[in-house]
Structure formats: C-alpha cells, structure tokens
C-alpha cells in the first residue's frame, strides 16, 4: 500500500454509525457514579465520609489530647467535658476514637495498596509465564494454607510491633488472594483474539500487559480492594486486642478495646464505643463493596 493512495470514492453505501455515547473508558466512571443510586451505598458512603473527615480534621473535632494521661479523672462516665467519658488512664475516650480512626484508615488503605501492588505483580508474572506460575503459586498456596491472623501474629512477633510491621503483617496474608485473581484474569485474556491481534502487531510483553491485560483486572481489583480494606481494619483490631499489634501508646480502636477488657464488667462502654466504630466502618466498606461488585460484575450478582 503506497501512501499516495487516492482517496476513496464517495461512499456508495451509507454508514449508519450509532450515536456517540459514553465510551468504554468512561464505563467504569459511570459505574462508580451509578452506585450512589442505591440507598445502602449512599448510607455507607456517608458514614465513611464522616469517618474520613473525622480522621483528617481530628484536632478540630476534639480539643483533647488522645494520649495525655490524667489519673485524677480515670473511668469517668460521659459528660460535657468528656463526651464519651475517660478510660482507665484518664484519657479522653472521644479523642482516642477520633484519632483512632486515623490508624484504622491508615492500616486499611496501606494494606490495600501493599496487597494489591504485590498481588498484581505476582499475578501478572504467574499468569504470563508458565514456569514462574509453577513455582510462585506453590508459595502462594503455602501462604494461603496458614490462617491470616496466625500468620500476622507470627510476622509481628518476628519483626516487632511497629505500625509498618503490623501493616505488612496484615497485608501479606491477603497477597495470595489478589495474586490468584489477577492470574486468573491474565490467563483468561491471554488467548483472547485481541491479545493475539496485538501480538501480531508486534506489541512487546510489558505494553501488552499494561494496555491489553491489566485493564481487565481493574473492576475485580476495586471490589477485592474494598474487602481487603474491611478485613484489614478487623485484623488490626484483633491483633491490637491480643496485644500483638500496634504499640499500646498509639490510639487505635483495637488498643482501646484491649485496654477496656479489664474493666469490661464495670465499664462496658470502654469496649462498646470502639467496637461500634470498627463495626460501622467494616460494615460500610463491605456494603459499598457489595454494591460495587453487583455493578461491575452483574453475573456474579445474579448468582448470589
């Protein structure tokens, strides 16, 4: 074909092109906007928004210091000065809950990022190269065989309890699940004609993965991400409650529950308030995730 090909004759057959509508790329955006049409999603989103705002503007929400000890006013009931009372060290419960949301959200988001990032890398490698698959997926199977909380406790015990190690410890057990999912998608699209078509056009491995394969994982990863987020907040609470989590001086909802355990019969609200916060957050994220999944994967929604 030469470049000076004459322009074709005016078309004899009329082309009936469909009306310009939302393209494929904006499909995801439409879904994300569309989910707010459901009531459960709206309420969940509102609750999460409040919690996020609360954590970002914590110093404005409460004037109390969450870690300042004041034995003189320990175990006080809720009052005007201390909205939710004080704990066994005389720290303001409301301030601790507000600042605790920072930890929970940080752990949730951090875990999602770490788990998705490593899960994606491993998933792409195992999905693309058969020999890597044989080796890496066995390691993943091994990781999956150990209960997540147990593995996290072991990791924290080995590396010591700082925020970063706790975060990694919570993220590691989630990686195999993400890797499996990404691997499945990659293997599924590897034989799609459009992937073969791209290879016919001389597209190399990384552009192939980036342009033609990974976009297929976005929707399931968003859904998976919400579940990991919720699970991470739960696991952090469990670890802190067991004393294997974040250092006790850092206000986290799990630490608060651990502290309140001793006074549970006397002052049940010490566990009740942080417990409600964990439940609310996890429930909201999960509900949002369910709606997202229904929207992004309608087939799955019908089956459930």
Partner 1 sequence: MTNQAETDLPVLSVRNVTIDTIPGGAKPIVRDISFDVRAGETVCVVGESGSGKSVTSMAMMGLLPKDALRVTGGQILLDGEDVLSVSEGRMRALRASKVSMVFQEPMTALNPVKTVGEQVDEVLRIHTKDSRAERRRKVLSMMERVHLPDVERIYRSYPHQLSGGQRQRIVIAMALILRPRLLLADEPTTALDVTTQKQILKLIKELQEEEGTAVVFVTHDFGVVSEIADRIVVMNRGDLVETGDCRQILSAPRQDYTRMLVSSVPSMQPRCAPLTDQPKVLEVVGLSKRYGKPGKSEVLAASDITFTVRKGEITGIIGESGSGKSTVARCVMRLTDPTEGAVVLQGQDIAPVRNLRAVRQKVQYIFQDPYRSLNPRRTIAQSLMEGLVNYGMPEREAREKAARTLELVNLPAAVMERYPHQFSGGQRQRIAIARAIVMEPDLLIADEAVSALDVSVQAQVLALFEDIRERTGISVLFITHDLRVAAQICNALVVMQKGCIVEQGATRDVLTNPSHPYTRALIDAAPAPDWDFQNFRPLPLAV
Task: Report the interface residues with partner 1, using CB under 8 A.
Answer: 1-3, 5, 7-8, 11, 13, 15-18, 20-21, 23-25, 192-194, 196-204, 207, 211-212, 215
Tokens 């693309």 correspond to 128
- Distance, first Cα to last Cα, the chain: 54
Q: How far is the CB of 220 from partner 1 (least distance, A)?
A: 15
* Residue with Cβ nearer partner 1 (141 or 196): 196
* CB 44, CB 287: distance < 8 Å: yes
**CA pair distance 166, 246, nearest whole angstrom:** 7
In angstroms, give the least distance from the CB of 138 to partner 1.
Answer: 24
User: How many CB atoms lie under 10 A from the CB of residue 149?
Assistant: 17
Q: How far is the CB of 271 from partner 1 (least distance, A)?
A: 48
Asked if residue 61 lies in contact with residue 52, where contact means CB atoms within 8 angstroms, the answer is no
Nearer to partner 1, 18 or 71 (CB): 18
Whether 103 contacts 237, CB under 8 Å: no
Of 7 and 158, which has the nearer Cβ to partner 1?
7
Q: How far is the CB of 243 from partner 1 (least distance, A)?
A: 48
Nearer to partner 1, 141 or 192 (CB): 192
**Ramachandran angles phi, psi of 171, nearest 5°:** -75, -40
Report, in Å, the least distance between residue 213 CB and partner 1.
Answer: 10
Minimum distance between the CB of residue 203 and partner 1, rounded to whole angstroms?
A: 6
CB nearer partner 1, residue 17 or residue 80: 17
Q: In whole angstroms, give the CA distance from residue 83 to residue 237.
A: 23
The token pair at 147 is 């209960």
Give the whole-angstrom CA distance, residue 139 versus residue 44.
36
Q: Which is nearer to partner 1, 59 or 207 (CB)?
A: 207
Centroid of chain to Cα 179: 15
Beta carbon of residue 158, minimum distance to partner 1 (angstroms, whole number): 42
Q: Is 209 helix (H, G, I), strand (E, B) or coil?
A: helix
Element holding 231 (H helix, E strand): helix 218-241
For residues 88 and 203, which CB has a smaller minimum distance to partner 1 in the complex?
203
């Amino acid at each position: 074909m030469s470049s000076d090909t004459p322009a074709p004759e005016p078309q004899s057959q009329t082309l009936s092109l469909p009306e310009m509508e939302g393209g494929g790329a904006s499909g995801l955006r439409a879904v994300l906007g569309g989910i707010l049409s459901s009531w459960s999603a709206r309420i969940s989103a509102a609750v999460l928004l409040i919690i996020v705002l609360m954590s970002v503007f914590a110093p404005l929400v409460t004037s109390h210091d969450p870690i300042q000890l004041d034995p003189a006013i320990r175990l006080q009931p809720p009052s005007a000065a201390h909205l939710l009372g004080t704990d066994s060290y005389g720290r303001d419960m409301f301030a601790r809950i507000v600042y605790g949301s920072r930890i929970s959200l940080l752990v949730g988001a951090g875990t999602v990022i770490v788990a998705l990032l490593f899960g994606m890398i491993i998933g792409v490698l195992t999905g693309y190269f058969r020999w890597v698959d044989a080796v890496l997926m066995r390691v993943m199977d091994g990781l999956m065989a150990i209960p997540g909380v147990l593995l996290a406790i072991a990791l924290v015990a080995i590396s010591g309890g700082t925020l970063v190690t706790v975060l990694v410890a919570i993220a590691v057990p989630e990686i195999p699940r993400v890797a499996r999912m990404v691997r499945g998608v990659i293997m599924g699209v590897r034989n799609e004609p459009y992937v073969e078509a791209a290879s016919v056009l001389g597209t190399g491995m990384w552009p192939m993965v980036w342009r033609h394969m990974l976009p297929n994982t976005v929707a399931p990863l968003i859904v998976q991400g919400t579940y990991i987020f919720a699970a991470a907040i739960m696991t952090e609470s469990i670890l802190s409650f067991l004393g294997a989590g974040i250092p006790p001086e850092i206000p986290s909802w799990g630490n608060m529950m651990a502290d309140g355990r001793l006074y549970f019969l006397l002052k049940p609200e010490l566990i009740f308030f942080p417990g409600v916060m964990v439940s609310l957050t996890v429930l909201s994220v999960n509900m949002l995730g369910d709606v997202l999944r229904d929207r992004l994967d309608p087939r799955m929604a019908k089956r459930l």
